[in-house]
Amino acid sequence: MKISEITPPLLSFVATVRVVQNHLTITARIIALADNFMRAKVLLAEKYGAENVLSLLPIARDAVIDETTAPLSAAELQVKSLRDRTKQLNQQAQQVKARRKLQKAQQNLFKANQPPRTN
């Protein structure tokens, strides 16, 4: 059993924190994983100090990534279509084989449950 089957997934947060080292102050953006907003805030406060956590924002789970994809040419679309159709036909063939195997197993079970014939 996997832990993800039992517990909900961790949420992602973007935090802006201030890091002070040798009289030099740096502002950094980091990603924190936590169960909820308050736990993320406590985690960052423990690590960087409450006064050094400048902002904390949740990251949307379905964040859109702006990537442009080139459109496929006619030949590439045809190849993709044929590949998809092949995959679909293979799945259908597997389903037919599974149904036949199930029917044969049911017939064998029916025969096994028949009372023996006496002549």
HEC letters along 11-44? EEEEEEEEEEECCEEEEEEEEEEECCHHHHHHHH
pLDDT at 68: 64
CA dihedral of 5, 8, 9, 13, whole degrees rounded to 10: -170
Copy the structure tokens of residue 108.
């064998």
Instruction: For residue 52, give the amino acid letter.
Output: N
| pLDDT tens-digit series, residues 33-56 | 998 999 999 999 999 999 999 999
pLDDT at 82: 94
pLDDT at 95: 96
Segment 85-96 shows an average pLDDT of 95
Quote the mean pLDDT of the chain: 87
pLDDT at 63: 53
pLDDT at 10: 86
Q: Give CA–CA dist 59/76, Å, rounded.
A: 36
**Residue 18, beta-bridge partner list:** 27
pLDDT of 65 over the 60 cut: no
Segment 69-94 shows an average pLDDT of 90
Decide if 31 contacts 17 (C-beta within 8 A).
no
Quickly tell me which residue has 């992602």 as its tokens.
12
Q: Give CA–CA dist 99/72, Å, rounded.
A: 38
pLDDT at 1: 66
pLDDT of 67 over the 60 cut: no
Copy the structure tokens of residue 119.
């002549």
